[in-house]
Structure 1
Amino acid sequence: MNASSRLTTLTRVGFATRGALYIAIAFLVVRTGRAEDPSGALRYLGEGGGRVLLAVMAAGLLAYGIWRAADAIFDIERHGSDGKGIAERLGAAASGVVHLLLTWQAIRLFQGVASSGQATEEGTQTALSLPGGSAIVIVGALLLFAVGVFQLVRAVKGTFLRHLEPRIARQTWAQWCGRGGYAARGLIFMISSYFLLKAGMQDQASEAGGMAQAISWLSSPVDVIVAAGLFGFGIFSLIEARYRILHDVPVDDAVKKATS
């Protein structure tokens, strides 16, 4: 098995890890009323599963992050060069960065170092400390809102199904897991963009909030409905781990070019 094939295999582990994180988020909301984001879900699973599970999740998240970043650079998912394709590649780049940061957190947890759990607020504070920081945060909020809208559009159109093996994409249960999941994520991203917009306009990092704050902001039973959607996204991620059509990242070619 060459390097490209090994990365593809580990990327499937990454999809499964993403699924486990979202299922954990939904479980915590429904069973305990506790709102978490993927970072908090990673801490929760790491505490319950131990170092072996953390090591597996870290490897999967690393491969997934690299695969997303490679998609942004090499267009391995065939997005195209039009406006929509460029937007999808930018989204892949952002997803790659997020999952590489989750990888780092998993490694830190493996080493016994707990994170603060305030990544969104800390990141916003860093942005606000820069020249024109408020404007940067406001632009970030608008971009996050656009991502939320894009997620809702995907839920309605079902475009995410084109990446699955056709026999699975035709299954109604798989379709609705994906639709519910993308709709829930879209709503969460739009609420988070509202928090980020407030932080930028008021120049207060404490106003910023991610997925956990967005879920907490929702009242019952809407939070449970959204949690059900996130559970669906987790299941859909597990489906992708097995049945998504993955194009190999040209790792071997890149290494040859770098060493020639």
Structure 2
Amino acid sequence: MKPEDALPDDLAGESRFQLLTRLGFAGRGLLYIIIGLLVIFAGRTEDLTGALEYLGHGVGKLLLAVLVVGTAVYGLWRLTDAVFGIESGRHHWKAWRKRVAAGTSGIIYSFLAYKAVRILFSQRVSGNDAQQHAADAFDLPGGEIIVLIAAAILFGAGIVQLVKAAKCSFLARLDCDDRQKVWIRWLGRIGYAARGIIFLVVAWQLEQSAIHRRASEAGGLEQALDFFSPTVRGWVAAGLMLFGFLSLVEARFRRIHRPPPVDRVADGLKDAVRR
């Protein structure tokens, strides 16, 4: 291998799992960039699944296949963090809050990888997941309470995104110099602010769905974008694009801890099931 083809020292020593996790960050970034571009240049709103479907044609299928691997490993990495606290910490309340968030993110991206596989093999995927989940919840006793709890969790997640935008806490886990952090700071501030606004709108839509007991009022990213006027929607979409570019930056500079050995992961999952 030629010297110029070698990996940088900080990447060369990483495990294959860590490198694939970086691919997951890049995949997440690409999906948000596609969502933003579709809004700005085509006036079309999509969620993450819609962005995957947009790629599921022609040459885009090759990229979709890469995203399957990236999102699957990213989801597994987040689930591993939820079980072992390798990124979030272990024995204080903030760590447990972060681990719950990591587990939720891990489930979402693992499910997204499953959807990407179905799209890759030209299978249809469900439309509005939020409405379907709300409808399923309303079929259960106390379903409105379940939906309200989901709305509260999303509201909290939105506030967390806005706090990240204000404090720029995302910079702490990046291995880059201060000059690079100057422009990365603004990518994150605008990107996390846009994402936080989306979370708050989705939370409000879920709350309305629970109050009126109408699943049709629930929504996800696509419906949250549709909530805004065309002008505001364009600005929010631009913010989501910047969040996508931040994810690409994280794919390169994010400090990713090495996961525990496979046997420890298996034991941890067994203990979690027993509880």
Common fold by TM > 0.5: yes
Percent identity over the alignment is 44
Shift of 1:194: 0.7
- Aligned residue in 2 for 1:135: 145
Q: Could you say if the C-alpha distance between residues 205 and 169 of structure 1 is closer, same or farther in structure 2, counting changes exceeding 3 Å? A: farther
Q: Determine which of 142, 155, 164 is the counterpart of 1:154.
A: 164
SS at match of 1:113: coil
Give me the CA root mean square deviation: 1.8
Shift of 1:139: 1.0
Q: Determine which of 68, 74, 84 is the counterpart of 1:64.
A: 74
Shift of 1:48: 5.0
> Which moves more between the two structures, 49-58 or 117-126?
49-58
TM-score computed with the length of structure 2 as normaliser: 0.88
- Cα distance between partner residues in 1 of 2:225 and 2:59: 25
Q: Does 1:51 align with 2:33?
A: no
Show structure 1 runs of 4+ deviating over 4 A.
Answer: 255-258
- Cα distance between partner residues in 1 of 2:21 and 2:179: 20
Preserved CA contact (<8 Å) 2:38 2:45 = yes
SS at match of 1:81: coil
Q: How does 1:93-112 map to 2 (within 5 A)?
A: 93-112=103-122
Please tell me the residue identity of whatever aligns with 1:17.
G
Preserved CA contact (<8 Å) 1:65 1:95 = yes
Q: Does 1:225 align with 2:249?
A: no
Shift of 1:254: 2.3
Q: Deviations over 1:98-145 (max 9, x none)?
A: 101100100101111021321111111111111111110011101111
- Aligned residue in 2 for 1:191: 201
- Cα distance between partner residues in 2 of 1:31 and 1:9: 33
Q: Does 1:171 align with 2:181?
A: yes
Preserved CA contact (<8 Å) 1:58 1:103 = yes
Q: Could you say if the C-alpha distance between residues 73 and 151 of structure 1 is closer, same or farther in structure 2, counting changes exceeding 3 Å? A: same
- Cα distance between partner residues in 2 of 1:257 and 1:130: 33
Q: Determine which of 243, 249, 257 is the counterpart of 1:247.
A: 257
- Cα distance between partner residues in 1 of 2:84 and 2:90: 11
Q: Determine which of 12, 17, 20 is the counterpart of 1:7.
A: 17
- Cα distance between partner residues in 2 of 1:255 and 1:214: 37
Q: Could you say if the C-alpha distance between residues 12 and 153 of structure 1 is closer, same or farther in structure 2, counting changes exceeding 3 Å? A: same
> Which moves more between the two structures, 95-104 or 5-14?
5-14
Preserved CA contact (<8 Å) 2:29 2:243 = yes
SS at match of 2:117: helix
- Cα distance between partner residues in 2 of 1:48 and 1:195: 35
Q: Could you say if the C-alpha distance between residues 46 and 168 of structure 1 is closer, same or farther in structure 2, counting changes exceeding 3 Å? A: farther
Preserved CA contact (<8 Å) 1:72 1:93 = yes
Q: Deviations over 1:210-257 (max 9, x none)?
A: 111011110132111111110110000000111111001114342686
Q: Deviations over 1:151-200 (max 9, x none)?
A: 00010001111111041685221111111111001000000011101111
> Which moves more between the two structures, 46-55 or 111-120?
46-55
- Aligned residue in 1 for 2:10: none
- Aligned residue in 1 for 2:49: 39
- Cα distance between partner residues in 1 of 2:114 and 2:195: 23
Preserved CA contact (<8 Å) 1:168 1:243 = no
Shift of 1:202: 1.2
5+ residue gaps, structure 1? none
- Cα distance between partner residues in 2 of 1:102 and 1:255: 22
TM-score computed with the length of structure 1 as normaliser: 0.93
Q: Could you say if the C-alpha distance between residues 167 and 117 of structure 1 is closer, same or farther in structure 2, counting changes exceeding 3 Å? A: same
- Aligned residue in 1 for 2:273: none
Q: Could you say if the C-alpha distance between residues 168 and 130 of structure 1 is closer, same or farther in structure 2, counting changes exceeding 3 Å? A: farther
